[in-house]
Amino acid sequence: MSEEALVLKDVKKVYRTQTEEVQVLKGINLTIREGELAVIMGPSGSGKSTLLSIAGGLDKPTEGRVVVGGVDITDMSEEELAKIRARKIGFVFQSFNLVRNFTALENVMAPLIFTGLYTWKEAAEIASKMLEVVGLKGHEHKFPGQLSGGQQQRVAIARALAPGPDVVLMDEPTGSLDVDSAVRVLGLVKWLNEALGQTIVIVTHNPELSELATRTFYIRGGLIYEQPPGQILAERIKELKGGAGSRELKSLQLSMLKVKLEALERAASRGVADPGVIEAELKALERRISRLEKLLA
């Protein structure tokens, strides 16, 4: 039923400096399935950001394989990776990383345009719907400097989710927020996972985030360990299912996915991308659409 969104196979990472060799990751095996919300914890310096960069194709492992949405990205060239990243992987960083002289709408449109799949009009339509999803309707034409930290992080989340990536990777997404904004952003993250079925991986050293997770991991000594889910958590997840407004959200999502499906089919017929990659994405999209249609029926 559920497909693998992200697979790390025996990933090792060694950093070499002039004086020493640090083995940060010593053989990480991790499989995240579609629809999961994984929280990976570990102390400062344990290799969380390293792991996330490798999972997202921003850095190469010293050894091992990285598979995102069924596509092995380990040996891809920088050029291929850039395209794949734009479509299959969303990043959210501690410091938002929005383009200062782009409006909120333009920030969310940017990765969509970069995929080369969407027309300007389609990108604007998807972006404005995504901003609505994260609760920023009416803020489309503001620049990052005119938004609060929490609002900026929501723009960053909308930007990461807009291309419908196989997985969204978040590195300390609430690290620069005050407590209230952090709670609001985390509520949004949980809701996006629940209502949209978006696969999300968060790395953090804050154990409170494990409350959000459907799966929890620890990194220690270069290895990763899974923490079995507690009963309380399982109960809380059940309670969260079918939250308010989720129906509208689902139909909003469905209409976005249909725009994407059309764009992808167009891309496939023009042969603008690797047919294997397109086919995997079409399948993933069709699965999402039929899942949503079932939920809405």
Ligand X SMILES: Nc1ncnc2c1ncn2[C@@H]1O[C@H](COP(=O)(O)OP(=O)(O)OP(=O)(O)O)[C@@H](O)[C@H]1O
Residue pair 170/222 in contact (Cβ under 8 Å)? The answer is no
Which amino acid, 220? R
Nearer to ligand X, 48 or 154 (CB): 48
Q: Which is nearer to Mg ion, 170 or 195 (CB)?
A: 170
Q: Are 213 and 163 in contact (CB under 8 A)?
A: no
Contact between 116 and ligand X by CB under 6 A: the answer reads: no
Cβ pair 75, 17 in contact under 8 A: no
Q: How many CB atoms lie within 10 A of CB 33?
A: 16
Nearer to ligand X, 120 or 225 (CB): 225
- Is residue 109 within 8 A of residue 124, CB to CB? The reply is yes
Over the window 199 to 238, marking each residue x when it contacts ligand X by CB under 6 A and - when it does not, the resulting string is ------x---------------------------------
Q: What's the gap between Cα 263 and its chain centre?
A: 21
Taking the complex as a whole, the smallest distance from the CB of residue 195 to Mg ion amounts, in Å, to 28
- In whole angstroms, give the CA distance from residue 250 to residue 192: 10
Q: How many residues bind Mg ion (CB under 5 A)?
A: 1
Side by side, the strands of the sheet bearing 63-68 are 21-33, 4-16, 63-68, 71-72
Among 11, 24, 39, 49, binds Mg ion (CB under 5 A): 49
Q: Is 239 exposed, middle or buried (CB count within 10 Å of its CB: 0-12, 13-18, 19+)?
A: exposed
Residues between 19 and 48 that touch ligand X (CB under 6 A): 22, 24, 42, 44-48
Task: Output DSSP code: residue 117.
Answer: -
Q: Does residue 199 belong to the site contacting Mg ion (CB under 5 A)?
A: no
Per CB under 6 A, the segment of 15-23, 133-141, 180-188, 274-282 that binds ligand X is 15-23
> Could you say which of Mg ion, ligand X, none residue 24 binds, taking C-beta under 5 to 8 angstroms by partner kind?
ligand X
The binder of ligand X chosen from 36, 37, 50, 93 (CB under 6 A): 50
- Minimum distance, C-beta of residue 224 to ligand X, in the bound complex (Å): 12
Residue 44's binding partner among Mg ion, ligand X, none (Cβ under 5 to 8 angstroms by kind) is: ligand X
Do 89 and 166 touch, CB atoms closer than 8 A?
A: yes
- Following DSSP, what letter does each residue of 95-110 receive, concatenated? T----TTS-HHHHHHH
Answer yes or no whether residue 17 interacts with ligand X by CB under 6 A.
yes
Which of 47/57 has CB closer to ligand X?
Answer: 47
Q: Name the site residues for Mg ion (rule: CB under 5 A).
A: 49
Q: Name the site residues for ligand X (rule: CB under 6 A).
A: 15, 17, 22, 24, 42, 44-50, 205
